[in-house]
A and B are shown apart, each in its own frame.
Chain A
Amino acid sequence: MGTAYLDHAATTPMLPEAVEAMTAQLGQVGNASSLHAAGRRTRRVVEESRETIACAVGARPSEVVFTSGGTEADNLAIKGLFWARKRRRILISAVEHHAGLDPAQWLADRQGATVELLEVDAYGRVHPETLRAAIARDPDDVALVSVMWANNEVGTIQPVQVLAAIAHDHGIPFHTDAVQALGQLPVSFAESGVDAMTISGHKVGGPMGVGALLLARGVDPEPVLHGGGQERDVRSGTLDAPAIAGFAAAVETAVKHRHATAERLSVLRDDLIDRVRQAVPDVILNGDPVDRLPGNAHFSFPGCEGDALLMLLDAKGVECSTGSACSAGVAQPSHVLLAMGQDGARARGSLRFSLGHTSTEADVDRLAEVIGNVVERARRAGLT
């Protein structure tokens, strides 16, 4: 029995270009910080990768700081800028990934920060007036603003450029988590005007365990990791040359094909939405109907538990996600959906289907074939 993998937002298969670039390095020796020939060879791989990534995301090579992934990059941006700025207020959207929300909350619990969640509308979008009003309450005490480029659960795209400009009016640094946006939306670090931007390898067809924080010139967070002083002292640790090479190849390829991929995926995604609606007439599409990630479809199924739907779909070979965070393995209603004003029951009955570069019409067919029965069954269980 084949499976329909509809969870590309969790992770997407590595692109052949990335596999090739990474495996070419795995058998090689060399620490990019060493002075001898092996070190120089490795450093060249790392620096060329940095240039490739910078070019693909509209940044300068010197603005790329490699990390172990999106979570570390978010931690570095939020903790690092908070420490460097010596101001108390952190303004962060209520729909951020936990990799953004939790460091902010930790700073509030342990380091005297005041975390103020920026409210979102029913689609999950932060309005410019919301940010403007939040800053105005005490502009001089804002350490940073963090709003993601596009939401990982419901796919809604944020007006990042406008929000960054508002922060800049007050000289406040602006961070965005662009992990889901890169490769799906046009992302330019320079044009967006943000000061710090998180990207991740495995969400764009690269390897897991590598990512980067883009840092504009003059934006200097305090380091989270101290050690050998790599990455201009902001992020110590031996650079993972094979992973970085794979990451660069993936970013380059994903960005090069982005337009065509996005066109194809949005057609496929709209078809998926139509066919789920046909099978389940009372289904509710979450997130902005238009301004959303091209591969994202997120639904609430009234009367169902998300984990029951997930289990039944898994048994039918359809792989998707409830999109909500797990605390000790127990699914909590998604903070994103709650922030969008949904009640707990609707939030718990939600599923995310996310398409990626290997998705085909057959995947959507598979889902369309089983979703009606699965929802019916989950509804019966939901009422017990």
Chain B
Amino acid sequence: MALRVLAAMSGGVDSAVAAARIAEAGHDVTGVHLALSSNPQSYRTGARGCCTIEDSRDARRAADVIGIPFYIWDMAERFHRDVVEDFVSEYAAGRTPNPCLRCNEKIKFEAVLDRALALGFDAVATGHHARLVDGVLSRSVDPAKDQSYVLGVLTREQLSHAIFPLGDSTKAQVREEAARRGLTVADKPDSHDICFIADGNTRAFLADRLGASEGPIVDALSGEVVGTHAGAYGYTVGQRKGLHIDRPAPDGRPRYVLSVEPVSNTVTVGPRTALEVTSIVATRPIWNGPSGEPREQIACTVQLRAHGEVYGCRAQLSGDDLHIELDAPATGVAAGQGAVLYDGDTVIGSATIAAAS
């Protein structure tokens, strides 16, 4: 049955090929570019990521080549409120948010999906590299490009209206297909970093919005103040570079950020071994996989950040908290990041990391 599909088109190669594939499959496809800034220049002037005027033109040109109608939807207010402001306030609270995850959850598969459904569409398609079979999400066949992690926050209801046409292809195959289809974005560079931070300097972006606020950097072993920082929000658990510690540590080893404490504006550092955690508590659980909620402990794997390592673990839901016991210690586990649980390649659920020890 032909579906009415809204294809979100960023202006990049992935979403262009995704739209082309579903149109070719006989669905009634409409391309929509999401304008995430009411003044595109204010976010990005180069061609490094999304949100430029060139990107919206690239998307429109791709839609013309595919032969589908194309519109621009202004999502700037929602994006600013639900993604950018959330990003800033999460950092201010000492956590490390993943804005891409948040954008999928709140913009693409909430604001856009809700509007699309109200307007008579059946589904939203994107160029994410992930597979979706019968509403069950799993990893792309291209492990280097897999984006199932940033989609792991979607509910079953959201996934039931999603289409990811690229999950069975590698990035190289997608580019080759784009060239074959005459899409000029075939060799357009991949986007990186955070799309709304023009120069990639997250600390400066946060400093502009949160202001400088000097505080101590404390060594966890000695309890001594070993340096000062201009704002605890600029640090992330596991971070090693840019600490500007002005004396060597007592054990002579490099120092890593162990914790960020916004109330006392303190950054605590310590040796790498002190970063190791095996026990994680995560909140806001989403159970979107094929199995029910794990009220009993289950054995599975967990990914703790985008493109991060995968750990064997035991997971159990008690109340609204997900308790994860890792089989081997992990480092750099930051509050605010998503913990996505997998059974093999299949996503079974996710939650937001609140604490680790």
- A residues sitting closer than 8 Å to B (CB atoms) are 307-308, 310-312, 314-315, 328-331, 377-378, 380-381, 383-384
Contact = CB atoms under 8 A, between A and B. Distances in A.
Contacts of A329: 33, 35, 53, 56-57, 60, 72
B117 to A, nearest CB: 8
9 contacts: A307-B72, A308-B119, A311-B119, A328-B53, A329-B57, A330-B74, A330-B76, A331-B74, A384-B118
Contacts of A331: 72, 74
Nearest to A382: B118
Contacts of B118: 377, 380-381, 383-384
A328 B40 contact: yes
B38 A311 contact: no
B188 interface: no
A311 B30 contact: yes
A314 B56 contact: no
Interface string B31-51: 001010011100000000000
Given A312-B120, A328-B53, A330-B35, A307 B73 contact: yes
Contacts of B56: 328-329
Contact of B71 (A307, A380, A384): A307
Contacts of B115: 308, 381, 384
Contacts of A384: 111, 114-115, 118
A261 B6 CA distance: 41
A294 B149 CA distance: 58
A330 B77 CA distance: 12
Given A328-B53, A331-B74, A381-B115, A311 B69 contact: yes
A314 B60 CA distance: 16
Q: Which among A307, A308, A330 has the highest number of chain B CB atoms within 10 Å?
A: A330
Nearest to A378: B119
Contacts of B40: 328
A12 B14 CA distance: 37
Contacts of B57: 329
Q: Which among B39, B60, B115, B119 has the highest number of chain A CB atoms within 10 Å?
A: B119
Contacts of B71: 307, 310-311
Interface residues of B, number: 22
A308 B53 CA distance: 21
Contacts of B120: 312, 377
Contacts of A312: 119-120
Contacts of A328: 35, 39-40, 53, 56
Interface in B250-306: none
B121 to A, nearest CB: 10
Contacts of B76: 330
Interface string B119-159: 11000000000000000000000000000000000000000
A330 B119 CA distance: 19
A382 to B, nearest CB: 8
Query: Interface majority SS on A: helix, strand, loop or mixed?
Result: helix
Nearest to A379: B118
B30 to A, nearest CB: 7
A283 B257 CA distance: 60
Interface in B66-115: 69, 71-74, 76, 111, 114-115
A377 B119 contact: yes
B73 A314 contact: no
Q: Which among A328, A377, A381 has the highest number of chain B CB atoms within 10 Å?
A: A328
A211 to B, nearest CB: 26
A331 B56 CA distance: 13
Nearest to A331: B74
Nearest to A381: B118
A310 B30 CA distance: 13
Contacts of B114: 384
A192 to B, nearest CB: 39
A259 to B, nearest CB: 38
Given A307-B71, A329-B57, A330-B38, 10 more contacts: A307-B74, A328-B35, A328-B53, A328-B56, A329-B56, A331-B72, A331-B74, A383-B118, A384-B111, A384-B118
Nearest to A307: B71
B230 to A, nearest CB: 34
A120 B114 CA distance: 38
Contacts of A311: 30, 69, 71, 119
Contacts of A310: 71
A383 to B, nearest CB: 8
Contacts of B60: 329
Nearest to B56: A329
A314 B38 CA distance: 24
A318 to B, nearest CB: 13
A311 B120 CA distance: 11
A330 B51 CA distance: 12
A173 B246 CA distance: 71
A329 B51 CA distance: 11
A199 B71 CA distance: 30
A158 B17 CA distance: 50
A241 to B, nearest CB: 32
B72 A314 contact: no
Contacts of A315: 30, 69
Contacts of A307: 71-74
Ordered nearest first, which 4 A-B pairs have the shortest CB separation? A381-B118, A329-B72, A384-B114, A380-B118
B72 A381 contact: no
A307 B60 CA distance: 16
A381 B119 contact: yes
A314 B30 CA distance: 11
A323 to B, nearest CB: 16
A349 to B, nearest CB: 13
Interface string B7-43: 0000000000000000000000010010100111000
A330 B60 CA distance: 13
B299 to A, nearest CB: 40
A330 B39 CA distance: 9
A331 B57 CA distance: 15
A310 B71 CA distance: 10
Contacts of A381: 115, 118-119
A307 B40 CA distance: 19
Contacts of B119: 308, 311-312, 377-378, 380-381
Nearest to A329: B72
A311 B60 CA distance: 15
A380 B72 CA distance: 19
A85 B57 CA distance: 40
Nearest to A312: B119
A48 B120 CA distance: 55
Nearest to A314: B69
A326 to B, nearest CB: 8
